[in-house]
Structure 1
Amino acid sequence: MQAAVDALIAARFDTVVYDLDGTLIDSAKDMQLAVSHVLADHGLPAVSEEDVRIFMGQGSKVTMAKAFARHGKVLDDKALSAVTREFVRYYAADPVGHTVAFDGVPRVVGHFEKLGLKQGVCTNKFEAPSRTILEHLKLMPPIADLAGADTFPVRKPDPRHILMLVERMGGDPARTVMIGDSIHDVEAAHGAGLPAVLVSWGYTERPARELGAEAVIERFDALPQALSRIASR
């Protein structure tokens, strides 16, 4: 059974691109601490982990705008850029204190490495802390490359964020799949002409099954079966 699944995957795909936060890793606590530190510096109450799970996905600047808006504060671009720099500084100081990989992630990415698949991460988090996290969790390698919010001139949901990473990895866009947790991942994948698989536990207000992905998985170790079903269509 597993051999048949693997054969279908290898025949259809040569590259797997993952989102990071909410897909491979649960980073909400570390993000919440950094966001709340900035808010405290500005005399505002902390936000919750659940708040931060909803705020994340479009990059640090959007996260901070939503955090201040939660307290009725609308920042102009200059002020927003300043608090975003504060957040990045706090977060970069300890991005791995509470962050863990979701169950099944190390096993699946290790299995895909054995199949010879190229694996990369495309995230709207900045590249440096993303690499630190992946290396700390021993996910890089087998994940070979990463594109963060500051790697290319574009970011998700712009499909070029994925396509530029795939090109750099030497992958074939026609044989690539995107694994994510939000509408931004689906929009970027479909804009690039790729199928999308979403996880059901991600950082999104709307349920994953409403977002138009080709498949939704309830646990990470169901990913190979989901890819084999896409491959057999």
Structure 2
Amino acid sequence: MHPNADNLIAARFDTVIYDLDGTLIDSARDMCVAVSRVLADHGLPAITADDARHFMGEGSKITMRRAFAKAGRTLDEDEASAVTREFVRYYEEDPVRFTTAFDGVTDVVARFDRLGLKQGVCTNKFEGPSRMILSHLRLMPPIADVAGADTFPVRKPDPGHVLMLIERLGGRPDRAVMIGDSVHDVGAAHAAGLPAVLVSWGYTATPARELGAEVVIDRFDALPEALQRIAAG
């Protein structure tokens, strides 16, 4: 990235907020393993990694409801809560066996850190395993904080999830940007007054280019250029 681009980005932004699954990390195989262990405990067939990619994004309970629905089982609220606890227990045993950062993530996060940008993760995954994964992948630091599904009283697409994280990071909403992969990331960002950049490879049934983001990128190392385009207005 050209030094002038660095300066343009740093002048426009002070905070970068990322979604986690499907944006920074490819976690579908580990999610698939944990979900399938719960299904097996209930005498149901496993899901595939592709299923996991489509079932994720709205929190673990919704993921579990979708997984059971695929097997023809509808869960009431108590059942959904119980199987979600089972899933979390399995998942937290080893959330990083197969999980990796997408190509370019480490370098871009390090570059933004050198620019002095505050960086945080806003995810509908629980905070505990999110921190474990980010630390294991050596993304935290420079990513400084995580707001998970259980961190605040609200979660994406509620804009409060993003805004409270920005406040905790010491950033300004008018100088922040959201990087994600789904309609919930765009919805939360725009409701909070932030521009949104989506990745094209994420965990969403609807193509990223149909979701209304300011920019869609096909490689993570294209993110600085995307922020430069937004900054140039």
Q: How does 1:170-209 map to 2 (within 5 A)?
A: 170-209=170-209
Question: CA shift at 1:5, angstroms?
Answer: 1.0
State TM-score, norm by structure 2: 0.99
Measured on the aligned residues, the alpha-carbon RMSD in Å equals 0.5
Give the % identical residues.
Answer: 73
In the alignment, which residue of structure 2 is the partner of 1:61? 61
Does residue 1:84 correspond to 2:87, yes or no? no
Name the aligned partner's letter for residue 207 of structure 2.
P
Quote how far apart the aligned CAs of 1:88 are.
0.3
- Distance of 1:132 and 1:146 partners within structure 2: 11
Query: What's the counterpart of residue 159 of structure 2?
Result: 159
State the AA in 1 paired with 2:214: E
Task: Write the mapping of 1:34-113 to structure 2, written as runs, cut at 5 A.
Answer: 34-113=34-113
Distance across 2 between alignment mates of 1:78 and 1:10: 47
What corresponds to 1:133 in structure 2?
A: 133
- Residue 122 of structure 1 aligns with which residue? 122
1:60 and 1:95 map into 2 onto residues whose CA distance is 14
2: CA distance, partners of 1:74 / 1:2: 53
Aligned residues: 233
TM-score (norm 1): 0.99
**Runs (4+) off by over 6 Å:** none
Structure 1 residue 7: Cα displacement: 1.1
**CA–CA distance in 1 between the matches of 2:28 and 2:65?**
17
For residue 23 of structure 1, what is the amino acid of its counterpart?
T
| Matched AA of 2:51 | D
What is the CA-CA distance between 1:4 and the residue it aligns to? 1.4
Tell me how far 1:72 sits from its aligned partner: 1.2
SS of match in other structure, 1:29: helix
Could you give the per-residue CA deviations for residues 183-215 of structure 1, whole angstroms, max 9, x where no partner exists?
000000000000000000000000000000000
